[in-house]
């Protein structure tokens, strides 16, 4: 690693010329007062508080899933925590939401350890358990953003108690669907609620700027046509409003996890930004530079294994350096941003929605013939598959019952032009989702992909009664597996 870093520094000098190198050194000297702080922290963590010039740095990190087959989301979040701590943020300023069922999961080959890269170190150690298990909720997430302690239920009580000069970084990694993000608890998060909370936070005058990094399928739909300019918020998303995002470091792909891992270790967009931030002096890299680099890596040369990273909100903020939100690791002081770097690994990836199947399949494949484990894996695989087939079929049938065989797919598959939100009447969307789930079972993480079809029903004027009738006819029963359980998904 040291040799690699040294090599890249040499390359950097070769590319930029000695004068550019000198300029960096001069800037380092000018910034001496803030650097001085590192002398007073024997562990090498320097103080990113620096109230006078840049305000306090705050962060909220949220993994929205549970289950070992979703290993990667919590691995992403733990990695982000380590990155921010090395950057100099304080534990008291980083609020972590994770279900926390991975490190000591019976499937985890390294008990107590979580990795986010095939060669990565443990990222679990030291991560605070602010909101875990059933406390990972939409309500607590919103309360943490707004800094409203009285609105919390459970958890450590840590919230973003920010002031007008502060900077806030929010990073969310999970499954999603058009207009929604997953949570390990019920209900899931709707885009319009999130936007309202961000507007409220802005109205309270308690931040200077806010950066939101979002990994999820169809994550563009969370901000598309919804996040206005003028809130001092800059968001980037793993995918546009109509495509999947991708897991990476998955079994059977390249690069693959160590052989004892039957699950994906990370997500493509997430590891792209973190592995970039991990190695650079973040005073010399802007949000825009990182966006460009992450966009290229996540597109995977426009192969089928990739998505389109998008940006929303106040794009002008992306001229800010990353240091303002993430701090910087003093060990990277000499490693400034280079346009093309070693991050562009050849990589295959797995559609987020298929990562659970990969896990069950690997588990099945490796288990000894006739073992209880093999039977369990087979059951899990079949349950996941029957849930998918049931949901896909039911949505299609509801469409046909409402619009006729000819017109149904036209209505269900409509995509509104870029810049327009998924739906105008979000209350209608909520109602139709609940109505469908009561009769057909939970959409659960896979079924979130059908949110656009349900939104299109609202846009076409379908109301609760029509939906109830069509769902009732389409679903005389639903599979008894855990995926369909009404404890999952949206139904309240
Ligand atoms: C905080 O949350 C409580 C409970 O939901 C609510 O009554 C109160 O108005 C909130 N305070 C602010 C400042 O938004
Ligand atoms: C960066 O380079 C300077 C000058 O070569 C050197 O003194 C310093 O130790 C280096 N810092 C790190 C963190 O490697």
| Closest Cα to atom 6 of ligand 1 | 151
Q: Could you report the per-residue pLDDT of 341-373, keeping only the tens digit for each?
A: 445 554 677 888 888 888 999 999 999 999 999
Residue 338: band (very low, low, confident or very high) from pLDDT cuts 50, 70, 90? low
Q: Give CA separation, 123 vs 15, 73, 80, 268, in Å.
A: 33, 12, 9, 17
Residue 386 CA to residue 321 CA, distance in Å, equals: 48
Indicate the helix (H) or strand (E) that contains 247: strand 246-248
- Burial status of residue 164 (CB atoms within 10 A of its CB: 0-12, 13-18, 19 or more): exposed
Nearest CA to 380 out of 393, 395, 399, 367 is that of 367
Residue 6 clears pLDDT 50, i.e. is over it: no
**Taking a C-beta distance cutoff of 8 angstroms, is the pair 352, 247 a contact?**
yes
Residue 281: band (very low, low, confident or very high) from pLDDT cuts 50, 70, 90? very high
Q: What is the pLDDT of residue 321?
A: 96
Q: Which residue has the tokens 């840590």?
A: 158
- The per-residue b/e assignment along 207-226, b for 16 or more CB within 10 angstroms, e otherwise, is bbbbbbbbbbbbbbbbbbbb
Q: How far is the CA of 204 from the centre of ligand 1 (A)?
A: 12
Sign of CA dihedral 443, 197, 157, 125: positive
Return the ligand 1 atom nearest residue 200 CA.
14
Residue with more model confidence, 249 or 51: 249
Q: What average pLDDT does range 83-95 have in this prediction?
A: 98
11 lines ligand 2 (CB under 6 A): no
Backbone angles phi, psi at 312, to 5 degrees: -140, 165
Cβ-Cβ contacts under 8 Å for 267 (sequence gap 6 or more): 72, 73, 76, 173, 215, 238, 245, 246, 247, 248, 352
Q: Which residue has the tokens 């050849």?
A: 346
Residue 339: band (very low, low, confident or very high) from pLDDT cuts 50, 70, 90? low
Q: Could you report the per-residue pLDDT of 388-434, keeping only the tens digit for each?
A: 999 999 999 999 999 999 999 999 999 999 999 999 999 999 999 99
Residue 10 clears pLDDT 90, i.e. is over it: no
334 lines ligand 2 (CB under 6 A): yes
Residue 195 clears pLDDT 60, i.e. is over it: yes
Q: What is the pLDDT of residue 157?
A: 98
Q: What is the pLDDT of residue 18?
A: 28
Closest ligand to 146 CA? 1
| Closest Cα to atom 5 of ligand 1 | 151
Residues with a catalytic annotation lie at 175, 217
Look over the chain and give the mean of its residue pLDDT values, rounded to a whole number.
Answer: 87
Indicate the helix (H) or strand (E) that contains 233: strand 233-237
Q: Could you report the per-residue pLDDT of 256-274, keeping only the tens digit for each?
A: 999 999 999 999 999 999 9
Q: How far is the CA of 427 from the centre of ligand 1 (A)?
A: 22
**Taking a C-beta distance cutoff of 8 angstroms, is the pair 188, 174 a contact?**
no
Residue 11: band (very low, low, confident or very high) from pLDDT cuts 50, 70, 90? very low
Return the ligand 2 atom nearest residue 332 CA.
13
Residue 51: band (very low, low, confident or very high) from pLDDT cuts 50, 70, 90? very low
Q: What average pLDDT does range 232-257 have in this prediction?
A: 92
Q: How far is the CA of 334 from the centre of ligand 2 (A)?
A: 6
Cβ-Cβ contacts under 8 Å for 103 (sequence gap 6 or more): 111, 112, 113, 114, 124
Nearest CA to 293 out of 352, 331, 341 is that of 341
Q: What is the pLDDT of residue 252?
A: 87
Indicate the helix (H) or strand (E) that contains 97: strand 94-97
Q: Which residue has the tokens 């701090």?
A: 327
Q: What average pLDDT does range 442-461 have in this prediction?
A: 95
Ligand 1 probe mutation, 150, 160, 197, most atoms within 8 A of CB: 150
Q: Could you report the per-residue pLDDT of 24-37, keeping only the tens digit for each?
A: 333 333 333 333 33
Residue 480: band (very low, low, confident or very high) from pLDDT cuts 50, 70, 90? confident
The proportion of the chain whose per-residue pLDDT surpasses 90, expressed as a percent, equals 75
Q: What is the pLDDT of residue 491?
A: 56
| Closest Cα to atom 11 of ligand 1 | 148
Return the ligand 1 atom nearest residue 146 CA.
14
Residue with more model confidence, 345 or 48: 345
Q: What is the pLDDT of residue 63?
A: 98
Q: What average pLDDT does range 197-212 have in this prediction?
A: 98
Q: How far is the CA of 152 from the centre of ligand 1 (A)?
A: 10
Cis ω before 187 (30° cut-off from 0): yes
Cβ-Cβ contacts under 8 Å for 479 (sequence gap 6 or more): 383, 386, 387, 390, 441
148 lines ligand 2 (CB under 6 A): no
DSSP notation for 45-65: ------HHHH--EEEEEEE--
Q: What is the pLDDT of residue 484?
A: 81
Nearest CA to 128 out of 90, 72, 162 is that of 90
């Amino acid at each position: 690693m040291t040799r690699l870093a040294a090599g890249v520094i040499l390359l950097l000098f070769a590319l930029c010329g000695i004068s550019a190198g000198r300029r960096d050194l001069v800037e380092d000297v000018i910034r001496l007062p803030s650097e001085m702080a590192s002398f007073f922290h024997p562990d090498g963590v320097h103080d990113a508080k620096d109230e006078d010039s840049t305000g306090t740095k705050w962060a909220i990190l949220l993994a929205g899933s549970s289950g070992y087959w979703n290993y990667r989301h919590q691995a992403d979040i733990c990695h982000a925590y380590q990155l921010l701590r090395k950057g100099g943020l304080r534990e008291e300023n980083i609020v972590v939401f994770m279900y926390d069922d991975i490190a000591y999961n019976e499937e985890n080959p390294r008990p107590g350890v979580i990795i986010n890269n095939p060669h990565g170190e443990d990222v679990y150690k030291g991560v605070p358990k602010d909101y875990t298990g059933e406390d990972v909720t939409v309500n607590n997430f919103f309360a943490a953003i707004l800094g409203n302690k009285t609105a919390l239920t459970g958890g450590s009580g840590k919230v973003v108690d920010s002031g007008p000069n502060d900077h806030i970084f929010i990073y969310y990694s999970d499954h999603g669907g058009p207009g929604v993000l997953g949570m390990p608890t019920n209900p899931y998060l709707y885009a319009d609620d999130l936007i309202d909370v961000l507007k409220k936070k802005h109205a309270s005058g308690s931040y200077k700027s806010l950066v939101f990094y979002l990994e999820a399928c169809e994550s563009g739909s969370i901000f598309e046509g919804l996040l206005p300019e003028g809130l001092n918020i800059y968001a980037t998303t793993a995918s546009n409003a109509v495509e999947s995002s991708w897991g990476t470091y998955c079994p059977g792909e390249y690069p693959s996890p160590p052989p004892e891992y039957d699950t994906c270790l990370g997500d493509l967009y997430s590891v792209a930004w973190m592995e970039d931030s991990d190695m650079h002096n973040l005073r010399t890299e802007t949000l825009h530079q990182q966006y460009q680099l992450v966009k290229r890596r996540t597109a995977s040369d426009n192969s089928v294994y990739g998505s389109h990273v998008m940006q929303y909100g106040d794009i002008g903020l992306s001229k800010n350096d990353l240091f303002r939100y993430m701090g910087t690791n003093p060990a990277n002081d000499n490693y400034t941003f280079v346009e093309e770097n070693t991050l562009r690994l050849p990589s295959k990836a797995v559609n987020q929605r298929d990562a659970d199947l990969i896990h069950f399949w690997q588990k099945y494949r490796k288990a000894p013939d006739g073992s209880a484990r093999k039977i369990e894996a087979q059951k899990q695989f079949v349950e996941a598959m029957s849930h998918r087939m049931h949901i896909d079929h039911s949505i299609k049938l509801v469409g046909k019952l409402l619009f006729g065989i000819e017109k149904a797919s036209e209505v269900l598959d409509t995509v509104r032009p870029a810049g327009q939100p998924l739906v105008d009447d979000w209350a209608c969307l909520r109602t139709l989702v609940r109505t469908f789930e009561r009769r057909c079972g939970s959409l659960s993480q896979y079924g979130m992909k059908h949110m656009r079809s349900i939104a299109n029903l609202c846009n076409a004027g379908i109301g609760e009664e029509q939906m109830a009738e069509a769902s009732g006819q389409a679903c005389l029963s639903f599979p008894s597996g855990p995926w369909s359980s009404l404890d999952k998904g949206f139904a309240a």
